[in-house]
Structure 1
């Protein structure tokens, strides 16, 4: 299990104080890993177009995902994600939006033990080459976040993998798909995120003992789905008062 740091001072009371306390620790890490402050810091980082790391439960996948808002995807951020991940980058979108873009399930009978709901993969039709480069995928992510994008703007199959989250978010399914969607919504951004699993240099999946130094090295917020669930329940699904 994860040993959490005992608080040495009363917790900050306002989001500004929480964010300020995180900034003070920026040299060591974007914010102390886990806990309520990490969710607030994660939301702030997403608004700034930054990548954060979100872990799930040890008894589930026991993985950490690199997550960002799709509307801010750039060749640099996607290049970073490709470098430190499995490379299979996904983009959760609301069910209604997936229907509008005519993106049906990838398979009729989903045999994934975790029921990750992949749709048909896509590339942006205009302004991309093969679709696999960081620049091409970033353009596709931004297009999927853009409400004006139409089904006819996309090529199928492609190199970007949309996911269909449960409508109830992490309160219904505690997966990275739903966490990405909930983080984007709570941050007031377009409901479209980017996610991919962090891997170690040897190709193995990065666990919490690997993710803490990784986030410290790159100045990333490290939070968890459990922390997000607690935050949503505490704030009734809204921003801090």
Structure 2
């Protein structure tokens, strides 16, 4: 590449958004280390939003590139594999007799996220390896993995998870990590469709969801996680 060659600004926009997502994940880690639990969760949710935005921008601006894909994969590993694990460990395990269990759950979560993203990178290069099929993802995608793994923290914030069940909690987190590297078909929202007659109901539902997230974020996310987990058997049968 010669010095005279130029890069269009629109080609940089998705990567800049991805960098902002990395900054959100890093800030989430700082907030969790400082004991600011809700702020840490908000920054992870911001990273989820930015992760969705950078892909949309890349397609809209026709600026997808191998560099952007690799950067996005690295951001996803940190934001959805490492940051949630640190938050879980600092909130529920550190300073207790079950710290080793918590660290095990943190390690498994991070490793499963890395393995899924490695498989995703391979699917870009090889047509015989795919993580999408007929409107379904193969396994739980990384943003959903983070939200599912943080369920114990959502319960803790609502006072529903104060009962000390460290072994059950650890098994749940490890199970969620395994869902990410599984071959279970999961619904893909980006490929979902509805009948035109149902459009008003979808709009009203979206408004209710946004208002609920703003007013009651943690109960709403608990319900969303339960519905997502409940959809897994349905998506498996539908894919057949």
> Is the pair's TM-score, using the shorter chain for normalization, greater than 0.5?
no
**Normalising by the residue count of structure 2, what TM-score does the alignment of the two structures yield?**
0.23
**Normalised TM-score (structure 1):** 0.23
Larger RCO of the pair (alpha carbons < 8 Å, separation 6+): 1
Looking at secondary structure, tell me which structure has more helix per residue: 2
Which structure would you say has the larger Rg?
A: 2
